[in-house]
C-alpha cells in the first residue's frame, strides 16, 4: 500500500535553530517522487522541495534540505536557521510512479512552532 507517515504532530524550535521533520513512506513502485509542502494558517499549500527516487544527491533549496535515506524509506525535511515565519503545518507527500497525471498522497502533517 502507498502510505506516508509523519509521526510528529507538533514540533517546537527557537529562532535560528535547525529542526528536522520526520517522514517515512511506503511504496512498491521503483520510481516515485517525494515532496514537502508548507501550509500556513491561511490554508495555501506552498511547495518547498522535491526528491526523486533515483536522485543520487539529497535535494536542497535555500534553508530547506531533504535527508533522503532510500533504504530506510525516509525523507526528512531539515530547516536550517528557523525563522518566525516558518511556523506552519508541514506536509510530506509522495507521488507513486512519479507520473505527471498521478495525485499526491499526503501524510498527516507536522505543526511547527518557532519561538523568539
For other proteins, the binding residues (CB under 8 A) are 33, 35, 37, 42-45, 47, 50, 52, 55, 59, 89, 91, 98, 100-101, 103-109, 111
Lookup: cell for 23: 517522514
Residue 56 vs 116, nearer CB to other proteins: 56
CA–CA–CA angle 32, 34, 38 (5° rounding): 155
Q: How far apart are CA 66 and CA 20, in angstroms?
A: 9
Q: How far is the CB of 70 from other proteins (least distance, A)?
A: 16
Residue 6 vs 82, nearer CB to other proteins: 6
Residue 16 vs 108, nearer CB to other proteins: 108
Lookup: cell for 58: 539529497
Q: How far is the CB of 5 from other proteins (least distance, A)?
A: 11
Backbone angles phi, psi at 85, to 5 degrees: -70, -5
Q: How far is the CB of 109 from other proteins (least distance, A)?
A: 6
Residue 85 vs 116, nearer CB to other proteins: 85
Asked if 10 contacts 22 with a C-beta cutoff of 8 angstroms, the reply is no
Q: How far is the CB of 69 from other proteins (least distance, A)?
A: 18
Burial (CB count within 10 angstroms: exposed 0-12, middle 13-18, buried 19+), residue 100? exposed
Amino acid at each position: 500500500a502507498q502510505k506516508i507517515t509523519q509521526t510528529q504532530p507538533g514540533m517546537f524550535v527557537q529562532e535560528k535553530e535547525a529542526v528536522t521533520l520526520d517522514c517515512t513512506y511506503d511504496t512498491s513502485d521503483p520510481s516515485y517522487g517525494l515532496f514537502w509542502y508548507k501550509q500556513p494558517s491561511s490554508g495555501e499549500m506552498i511547495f518547498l522541495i522535491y526528491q526523486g527516487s533515483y536522485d543520487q544527491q539529497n535535494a536542497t533549496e535555500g534553508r530547506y534540505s531533504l535527508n533522503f535515506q532510500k533504504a530506510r524509506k525516509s525523507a526528512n525535511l531539515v530547516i536550517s536557521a528557523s525563522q518566525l515565519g516558518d511556523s506552519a503545518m508541514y506536509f510530506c507527500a509522495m507521488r507513486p510512479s512519479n507520473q505527471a497525471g498521478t495525485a499526491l498522497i499526503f501524510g498527516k502533517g507536522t505543526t511547527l512552532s518557532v519561538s523568539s
